[in-house]
Copies of this chain bind each other. A is one copy, B any other.
């Protein structure tokens, strides 16, 4: 179910058109020949697919450019015209609403945030509408229409229906967010789980480009994981997937809010680190940054807290690698601010716990600015814009 009011739609008349567009979107400017090769189509098909996209302005032709072989007809590079369309991505947390305006290439043009004082759906809805309104007003200056809105929320989100089934941080249950916001803003709205949205962003615009099997692990208040298998984001039959935070790595570990002991999140989540840091150092520690500061200062025992956290995360990642054998794991999240404190432990425990060839998985890290979550939401909106209309795709 999609919620649209007006709507410029994407001319994805055929699978080939979708495919060529996403290929060019993800792999930067390409010659038609190269695009054909990557998409597994004939050059003729590319010419045909590109034409309507050029006409509609979604693609543009660069008068070639860089170093080209000195022989033969020069190639014409085809690229996505990012400025052709704009999208808004919104991340809703219990504390604030973050919104970004991106172009079609998912580059952030503007960012805004608004604190959340009342977590009730209605109040949050107002904030979202306000930020959206503000960004749309500013978008005028870019001379491109805003064609979609993505909203990322943590918890159990049914993207297909646009409903937030349950979000613990917001204390929401069965909020038909897409419909509500679509009615208010008149934009096509996509609602997705925050980690899945971030995963889509990596798949289309980040370190997951070109990979059919990879995982994104986010470290921060919670520990989350987005999975891409067979080229598609895993959603889970019951809306739950990627709950690496609640993989139990130590039955004797600390109690987790989920009721079990030794979940990764109960060892390496921000709250766990903070409370453990208080215990170990005896000092008042309120937020993650303070905990990291203590460790950086070399306070006795502080580094060990991060070591344990890194160890838990590494084992969680090894579990993911053992079970589905991704080509790459991308570690990201606000928690990466303290990455130097546990990087080594993550990698060591991953290597130790990964079974056989699973250890060949490429474990990378990527910094995650605060707007990235909102950008993920925008990526989901872009994806929906491109793939929805006539020809659905995975």
Contact = CB atoms under 8 A, between A and B. Distances in A.
Contacts of A251: 249-250
Nearest to A212: B237
A247 B323 contact: yes
A327 B237 contact: yes
Contacts of A243: 322-323, 355-356, 358
Contacts of A368: none
Contacts of A234: 229-230, 324-325
A258 B357 CA distance: 12
A241 interface: yes
Contacts of A282: none
A298 interface: no
Most buried by B among A227, A235, A251, A358: A251
B319 A248 contact: yes
A137 interface: no
Contact of A230 (B326, B355, B361, B394): B394
Interface in A354-369: 355-358, 360-361
Contacts of A357: 156, 165, 236, 238-240
Contacts of A236: 213, 324-326, 357-358
A378 B200 CA distance: 38
Nearest to A356: B240
Contacts of A10: none
A260 B247 CA distance: 17
A318 B319 CA distance: 12
A315 B237 CA distance: 19
A3 interface: no
A164 interface: no
B323 A323 contact: yes
A72 interface: no
Interface residues of A, number: 50
B353 A240 contact: no
Interface in A210-258: 213, 225, 227, 229-230, 232, 234-244, 246-252, 258
Contacts of A325: 234-241
A352 interface: yes
A252 B225 CA distance: 26
Contacts of A213: 236-237
B324 A247 contact: no
Nearest to A237: B327
A360 to B, nearest CB: 5
Given A238-B358, A238-B360, A243-B356, 17 more contacts: A156-B356, A165-B357, A227-B323, A229-B230, A236-B357, A238-B361, A241-B323, A243-B323, A243-B355, A246-B322, A246-B353, A247-B323, A248-B315, A248-B353, A250-B252, A258-B356, A324-B324
Q: What 8 A-B pairs have minimum CB-CB distances, sorted nearest first?
A: A236-B325, A237-B327, A238-B357, A243-B322, A241-B325, A246-B355, A240-B358, A229-B229
